């Protein structure tokens, strides 16, 4: 028996036992995904700055070592005043008496064997008489010297200037004569003749300063060398004997004359 083949729409016979199979339609390529990114770290709502360290201000000194200050030079702990060096030098501290030690001694009780370890800080009376007056090449000064209980005062009619350094002994001590190479301990105050401002003062700090006399500016050395321990001295210093180029950190300009009032507490060879 002959099987009939069904005709296709095209006219071609199709075997009756052939099953039509559906061809799978290729799908889209699989999408490859990467691992999710971690969420960003949230910013702090406030930013705290690291603490800033400030170098404590250093008091001026009276000695000239490797670095100097407004009037002296660098040393070791506490004051300003007279180092002979260039105006670009940086001040460093000097002084040998601690505030704690100073607090245990009363001003005015020192002797040649046991010199004072403090400087009086009290102001002199308003009506205190001047111990020295001087007319300068310009202006004038009136100096009230220090005592065992009070600091000095310098009244300036300015601008005050001198063409020659002038030294005045206010009171004479009974100690040994100070050599020009001695190491001395003093209380002192420095005043600018141009405007009358106090640019440095051991009296304000209440603590003396110790330094080698050979290392100070010429005007300061002239005031002390040849005096006796226990004396008080005032000196009007020319710019050439002080800071001819000025000392900006102390407000000293080139050409300024300076006035120092000094209490000589001790001296050693």
pTM equals 0.65
pLDDT 10s per residue in the chain (269 long)?
555 555 555 555 555 455 555 566 666 656 655 566 666 555 444 333 333 333 333 344 344 433 334 344 433 333 444 555 433 333 333 333 333 333 333 334 455 566 788 999 999 999 999 999 999 999 999 999 999 999 999 999 989 999 999 999 999 999 999 999 999 999 999 999 999 999 999 999 999 999 999 899 999 999 999 999 999 999 999 999 999 999 999 999 999 999 999 999 999 98
Q: Is 129 helix (H, G, I), strand (E, B) or coil?
A: coil
Q: What are the structural domain ranges in the chain?
A: 110-268
- Which CATH number fits the domain 110-268, given the four candidates 3.40.630.30, 3.10.50.40, 1.20.1370.20, 2.70.170.10? 3.10.50.40
Q: How many whole angstroms separate alpha carbon 80 and alpha carbon 242? A: 13
Whether a cis peptide bond, with omega within 30° of 0, leads into 159 is yes
C-alpha distances in angstroms, 53 versus 50, 56, 60? Answer: 9, 9, 21
Q: Are the C-beta atoms of 238 and 168 separated by less than 8 Å?
A: no
Q: Are the C-beta atoms of 234 and 165 separated by less than 8 Å?
A: no
């Amino acid at each position: 028996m002959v099987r009939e083949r069904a005709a296709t729409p095209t006219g071609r016979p199709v075997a009756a036992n052939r099953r039509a199979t559906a061809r799978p339609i290729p799908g889209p390529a699989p999408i490859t995904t990467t691992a999710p990114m971690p969420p960003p770290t949230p910013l702090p709502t406030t930013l705290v700055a690291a603490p800033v360290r400030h170098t404590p201000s250093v008091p001026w000194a009276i000695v000239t070592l490797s670095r100097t200050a407004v009037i002296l030079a660098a040393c070791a702990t506490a004051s300003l005043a007279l180092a002979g060096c260039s105006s670009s030098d940086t001040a460093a501290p000097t002084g040998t008496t601690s505030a704690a030690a100073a607090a245990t001694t009363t001003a005015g009780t020192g002797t040649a064997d046991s010199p004072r370890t403090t400087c009086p800080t009290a102001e002199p009376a308003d009506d205190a008489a001047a111990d020295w007056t001087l007319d300068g090449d310009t202006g004038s000064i009136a100096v009230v010297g220090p005592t065992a209980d009070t600091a000095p005062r310098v009244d300036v009619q300015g601008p005050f200037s001198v063409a020659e350094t002038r030294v005045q002994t206010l009171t004479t001590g009974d100690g040994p004569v100070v050599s020009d190479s001695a190491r001395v301990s003093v209380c002192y105050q420095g005043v600018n003749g141009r405007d009358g401002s106090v640019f440095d003062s051991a009296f304000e700090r209440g603590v003396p300063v110790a330094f080698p006399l050979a290392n100070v500016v010429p005007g300061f050395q002239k005031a002390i060398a040849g005096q006796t321990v226990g004396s008080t001295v005032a000196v009007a210093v020319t710019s050439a004997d002080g800071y001819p180029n000025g000392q900006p950190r102390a407000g000293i300009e080139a050409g300024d004359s300076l006035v120092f009032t000094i209490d000589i507490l001790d001296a050693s060879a």
